[in-house]
Amino acid sequence: MPLDILYQDNHLIVVNKLATQLVQADKTGDDPLLEEVRAYLKDAFDKPGNVFVGLPHRLDRPVSGIVVLARTSKSLARLCEMFQEKTIQKTYWAVVEKKKEIHTEATLKDFLTKNEKLNKSFVSKTEQKNSKLAELSYKIVCQTDRYYCLEVLPKTGRHHQIRVQLANMGTPIKGDLKYGAKRSNPDGSIHLHARKIAFIHPVKKEYIEIEAPVPSSDTLWKYFTENAKP
């Protein structure tokens, strides 16, 4: 499939990543988004030699949605700093199983400990050795008999934060077997989508807000998009 480009200029390019697509290369050898963007820029602008593409943040493989990439080392350095300092506002949509009734909106605060060997994070309500505070807020934007669709605003950037905190609340993300979903999605995705991003352009200093369409072939995502409350 062709790249779904949401925004581009001389300094950065923003794309809508497909669920199950790698952002950067790993031991699987599968084609990563980073190389796809590099090939696109090389072809589109007829660039000789290697094309610079920098990655200031990441998105888990089974997650879809917005990925920001830098086209210059200058913009990469500034974007990395902005992500680290949390001056970039990210908004996610998550479809979660209705295992319990939840508040219409709330803030979750937990301590997370990452297990490197399992590539998984675990929750504790009190601080533990090597744990880090994780905080997010959510609100219900739509629901069906079986699922809630939540708008999620992470306030910290911990490993698997949204996945583990929502699961700990008793509402695992649809398809996320690692964190307690009843069953996997057929394509290996999970129903977590990086929906919006808002930031001050690292070079132009203009305010930018970008929204990524949800996966178009998924009927559940389509239903929630059409019926979500603002």
For residue 116 the two structure tokens come to 């490197």
- Cα–Cα distance between 96 and 156 in angstroms, integer? 20
More confident residue, 197 or 129: 197
| Rg from Cα positions in the chain | 18
**Domains in the chain, please, with CATH?**
5-227 (3.30.2350.10)
pLDDT band at 125 (very low <50, low <70, confident <90, very high): confident
- Cα–Cα distance between 67 and 209 in angstroms, integer? 13
C-alpha dist (Å) from residue 43 to 37, 39, 97: 10, 6, 43
Contact 53, 63 (CB under 8 A): no
pLDDT band at 229 (very low <50, low <70, confident <90, very high): confident
Count the Cβ atoms, other than its own, within 10 Å of residue 186: 7
Q: Say if residue 74's pLDDT is above 80.
A: yes
Least confident of 75-79, 123-127, 156-160, 213-217: 123-127
Query: What residue type is 45 in one-letter code?
Result: F
Q: Residues 136-156: pLDDT tens digits?
A: 999 999 999 999 999 999 999
The rounded mean pLDDT for the chain is 95
Q: Say if residue 1's pLDDT is above 80.
A: no
Query: What residue type is 182 in one-letter code?
Result: K
β-strand 89-97 against 192-200: which pairing, if any?
antiparallel
- Cα–Cα distance between 224 and 230 in angstroms, integer? 11
| pLDDT value of position 19 | 96
| Span 186-193, average pLDDT | 97
